[in-house]
């Protein structure tokens, strides 16, 4: 979450940055008012506590010197009651403040372009050549190879679930293994983590409380199906103090991901692009603050080089302020070329959240004698289903078959 002290000390600057991300000015003004009231009430409580402590010392002296303590006792008792009342008021105010703060997004970096939505994102670079065909390329769901069975996926669950068979299923598995091996070669340690997470874990990375409607809840349990391995990997170090020499921690993991896609009604209703369940290989980093920009570039390069190794043309895109995710201070998307659709589509999103998640999850490191909030970063490397789609469309043959990229053949 954002630093409440920063908000209190420089409200106008912080508010202006948050408004670039689409936060309503009225919410920010209410937050400012509540913050000031909380600060005033806490100061009043501390003043009463100080008076109580001072009179308590006087009480000891009165007794020792045989002075009348009745009026002093009454005054101390009055201060004690006043302190209890103020403590209750402060708790109510601080709980309200925390509830609002948990719903306020991260402050965008100064380098992030200002914009309202994805139409104002900035293409930084295009990498690789788009394939040429001597026939009209098809979209992945139209390829006549029997890999994708959407009807049976719906029968087993509901819409936006699918089944993959035969060589398609083998290619999905091959991609997972290849991605993990590639990331390990770049210094990311492989983890295998739970596919469910509790409330505290999801709050630590920012999915709760704001995005609860997009999560699949386990009935009768304080558990949700994870929307991304970012949740599990980052929170491995929830409420821990690391040693500076341990950092950076670079982690990678394969998990299925589960999302209700509550806000995407009518979008990508065909094919594998937007499913309720999908496979993803994730990268997460926990770093010292001064190293996070360097690690960010390392993660972008890792995902981009992975796409290049698969022979997939793609572009790097800097997200504008209005398209940034809730926890992100800065994000670069990688968009892969899909010849069937005739456009680039997101396949990876790499974000630096600075200390936003670390403050929520209490992830710190000890630098000499001080405990400092770490910086956390995360990125897809890659969304497996979308990579399967990209290979199907880019390597399709005229008869509907799909050529397997050279680097994947040993996995097949």
* Catalytic entry in 120, 274, 291, 309: 274
Residue 284, phi-psi category: left (phi > 0), alpha (psi -120 to 50), beta (remainder): beta
DSSP string covering 313-361? -EEEEEPPGGG--SS-SEEEEEEEEETTTTEEEEEEEEEE-TTHHHHHH
Look up 349 and say whether it is catalytic: yes
Binding residues: 228-230, 259-261, 282, 346-349, 378, 380
Binding residues for L-serine: 228-230, 259, 282, 378, 380
Catalytic residue list contains 99: no
Query: Which residues are part of a known binding site for ATP?
Result: 259-261, 346-349
For residue 126, give the DSSP letter: E
170 classed as catalytic: no
In sequence order, the β-bridge partners of residue 348 are 334
42 belongs to the catalytic site: no
Q: What are phi and psi of 342, to 5 degrees?
A: 70, 30
Query: Are 376 and 360 within 8 A, CB to CB?
Result: no
Q: Confirm whether 386 is a catalytic residue.
A: yes
Of these residues, 364, 381, 386, 393, which one is catalytic? 386
How far is it, in rounded angstroms, from Cα 21 to Cα 243?
34
Q: Determine which one of 259, 345, 359, 360 is catalytic.
A: 259
> Which one is catalytic: 75, 87, 120, 346?
346
Catalytic residue among 35, 349, 351, 381: 349
216's tokens = 């699949």
Tokens of 181: 């091996």
Residue pair 355/204 in contact by the 8 Å Cβ criterion: no
**Measured CA distances, 293 to 154, 248, 288 (Å):** 43, 12, 10
Active site residues: 259, 274, 346, 349, 386
């Amino acid at each position: 979450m954002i630093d409440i002290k920063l908000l209190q000390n420089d409200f106008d600057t912080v508010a202006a940055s948050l408004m670039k991300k689409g936060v309503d000015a009225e919410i920010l003004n209410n937050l400012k008012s509540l913050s000031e009231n909380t600060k005033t009430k806490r100061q009043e409580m501390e003043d009463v506590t100080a008076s109580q402590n001072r009179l308590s010392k006087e009480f000891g002296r009165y007794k020792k010197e045989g002075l009348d303590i009745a009026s002093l006792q009454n005054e101390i008792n009055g201060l004690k009651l006043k302190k209890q009342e103020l403590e209750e008021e402060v708790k109510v105010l601080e709980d309200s403040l925390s509830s609002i703060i948990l719903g306020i997004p991260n402050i965008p970096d100064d380098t992030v372009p200002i914009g309202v939505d994805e139409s104002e994102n900035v293409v930084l670079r295009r990498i690789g050549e788009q394939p040429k065909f001597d026939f009209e390329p098809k979209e992945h769901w139209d390829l006549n190879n029997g890999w994708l069975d959407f009807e049976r996926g719906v029968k087993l669950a509901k819409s936006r679930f699918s089944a993959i068979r035969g060589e398609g299923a083998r290619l999905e598995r091959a991609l997972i293994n290849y991605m993990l091996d590639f990331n390990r070669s770049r210094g990311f340690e492989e983890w295998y983590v739970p596919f469910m997470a509790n409330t505290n874990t999801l709050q630590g990375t920012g999915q709760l409380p704001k995005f609860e409607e997009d999560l699949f809840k386990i009935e009768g349990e304080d558990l949700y199906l994870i929307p991304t391995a970012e949740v599990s990997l980052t929170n491995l170090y929830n409420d821990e103090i690391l040693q500076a020499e341990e950092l950076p921690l670079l982690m990678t993991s394969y998990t299925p991901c589960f999302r209700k896609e509550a806000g995407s009604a009518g979008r990508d209703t065909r094919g594998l692009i937007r499913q309720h369940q999908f496979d993803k290989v994730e990268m997460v980093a926990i770093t010292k603050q001064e190293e996070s920009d360097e690690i960010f570039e390392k993660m972008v390069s890792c995902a981009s080089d992975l796409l290049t190794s698969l022979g997939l043309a793609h572009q790097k895109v800097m997200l504008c302020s209005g398209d940034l995710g809730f926890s992100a201070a800065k994000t670069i998307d990688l968009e892969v070329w899909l010849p069937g659709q005739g456009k680039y589509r997101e396949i990876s999103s790499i974000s630096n959240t600075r200390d936003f998640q670390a403050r929520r999850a209490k992830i710190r490191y000890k630098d000499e004698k001080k405990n400092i909030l770490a910086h956390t970063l995360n990125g897809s490397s890659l969304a497996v289903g979308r990579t399967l789609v990209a290979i199907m469309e880019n390597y399709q043959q005229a008869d509907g078959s799909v050529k397997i990229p050279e680097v994947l053949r040993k996995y097949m």
